[in-house]
Structure 1
Amino acid sequence: MVSFPNKLTEEMRQKIFEHQASFNLISGVVILHDIRDWSIVFMSERGLNDLKISEEELYSMTNEVYHARFFNADDAADYVPKISALMQKNSDTATVSFYQQLKFPDSPQWRWHLSSIRIFMRDDDGKPLITITISIPVDAMHHMAAKADRLLEENNFLRNNYTNFSKLSKREQTILREIALGKSSIEIADELCISPTTVDTHRRNIREKLNTKSSFEISKYARAFDLI
């Protein structure tokens, strides 16, 4: 059960409670700030685990203590003006992104994060009351970018080589998959109940149709066309 700072109104508690389950499903860390003093009024479970801190301890911290403990003060010169401009703009659709360095209890090293902040809740007069920030480790972003690059490369390979692949029969596609999995002609023959000589013939035909010369190229076809 999520707990809240005592200063929150029932309306603020209800608003956060309605979203807290989905906040905990987000891959990054979700933080809600009360902009009256910029204290934290909610942090998702991932963030609490990373900081090795309880909700009670976190909510008892002032904004100054929180940032001094976990953040590199030099970064504030970049993001504080951006956040101030966001509050002045007072738009429901505006978002500000910035980089921050954090230091976790289990490591002396600073770790870069990309954070994005926007208005989450307003008061009765329509003024910003609570902001929501989502923070993602830069290392995780690099991993996602690398994965996206691989998918793009495979997609380009698929489009450029579809004509060659379409020349293969169903049997040749099956054998292509087995070759990509590293199986020998004898192993493939036993599995498909055909002779090793027939498998070797299929191998030659596959290489000719795909214009491949190595097992690596065979594997690229198998991955791009979802055979493995």
Structure 2
Amino acid sequence: MKQIVSLPSTNNKEMTLEERIQQKISEVAAVANDLPAVVIVLNFQKGMTVEYMSPRGTRELGFTLEQIREMGEEYHARFFNPEDSPEQIAKVTDLINKNSDDEIASLFQQVRASKDHSWAWHLTTLKILMRDDEGKVLLTIALAFPIDPLHHVTSKVARLLEENIFLRKNYNRYGRLSERERQILKHISLGKSASESAEELFISVSTVETHRRNLKKKLGTSSFFELTQYARAFDLI
């Protein structure tokens, strides 16, 4: 791994931007091994490329820091589940746009060293670490905490994360449903018959049946399990 050497103390105004970046990374590297997390410094002016990763992280991925830095923007596609990307990009973009030292972004990420490995969940928290001379965000620092798969709450967390993924994947489909179709979907998920739904909603049975056919067509499924997934993910039940 490329050794990071602390730069001699000097006036920041006399240092180049690259020297100040290396000084900041040296400060992070000095304490990274003492933290119970993987520490990552990303350069947002180079396409969110890795400037630094603590030894714990490089060991988990099986690459040296220099190799990871050479990957450039490919780093994200190589190690992270693309299904999580939309939500992560939205949160990070919001953090950068706010450009405040008081702001943090927390997100769940699925990480794996290669296709031969299983996805492992991490809880990652980011904040701004450094800005350039114009005040634009230059570096962020992230702490990635692995979620212990043997912990008793992990299965509950995993279910919540799976539900969240389902929600993101199917948000557009669900958004096509009318308010009445959502009511019918809720009734289906609760096991109510067409006649029971008709009585409660003060509409005819044939109207209920029409709504049932339409919502199943819009959601692309007639599976009771999948319909229940929609109802649960979108807080109908």
* TM-score, normalised by the number of residues in structure 2: 0.55
> Residue 59 of structure 1 aligns with which residue?
69
Q: Aligned residue for 2:139? A: 130
Letter in 2 for 1:53: F
Q: 2:27 aligns with which of 14, 18, 21?
A: 18
Q: Is the 8 A contact 1:52 1:105 kept in 2?
A: no
Q: Paired residue for 2:3?
A: 2
Runs of 4+ in 1 over 3 A off after TM superposition: 140-145
Relative to structure 1, the CA distance from residue 2 to residue 106 in structure 2 (aligned partners, 3 Å threshold; closer, same or farther) is: farther
Cα offset, 1:81, TM superposition: 0.4
Per-residue CA deviation, residues 170-210 of structure 1 (Å, 9 max, x unaligned), is xxxxxxxxxxxxxxxxxxxxxxxxxxxxxxxxxxxxxxxxx
Q: 1:99·1:113 contact (CA, 8 Å) conserved in 2? A: yes
27-36 vs 101-110, which deviates more? 101-110
Question: CA 1:109 to 1:98, structure 2 compared with 1: closer, same or farther past 3 Å?
Answer: same
**Which has the larger displacement, 19-28 or 88-97?**
19-28
Answering whether residue 59 of structure 2 is matched by residue 49 of structure 1, we say: yes
Q: Secondary structure at the match of 2:117?
A: coil
In structure 1, distance between residues paired with 2:82 and 2:153:
28
User: How big is the shift at 1:138?
Assistant: 1.3
Q: Distance in 1 between matches of 2:52 and 2:150?
A: 24
- Give matches, 1:168-179, under 5 Å: none
**Post-superposition shift, 1:25?**
1.4
Contact 2:39 2:143 in 1 (8 A): yes
- The unaligned stretches of length 5 or more in structure 2 are 6-16, 155-237
* Aligned residue number for residue 162 of structure 2: none
Structure 1: distance between partners of 2:79 and 2:152: 24
Alignment partners' CA distance in 2, 1:48 and 1:3: 15
User: Number of paired residues?
Assistant: 142
Structure 2 counterpart of 1:96: 105
Note the C-alpha offset of 1:140.
7.2
Q: Give the deviation of 1:108 after TM superposition.
A: 2.1
Q: Does 1:70 align with 2:79?
A: yes
For 1:182-193, what aligned pairs fall within 5 Å after superposition?
A: none
Superposition deviation, residue 105 in structure 1? 4.1
Q: Percent identity?
A: 38
Could you say which residue in structure 2 is the equivalent of 1:82?
Answer: 91
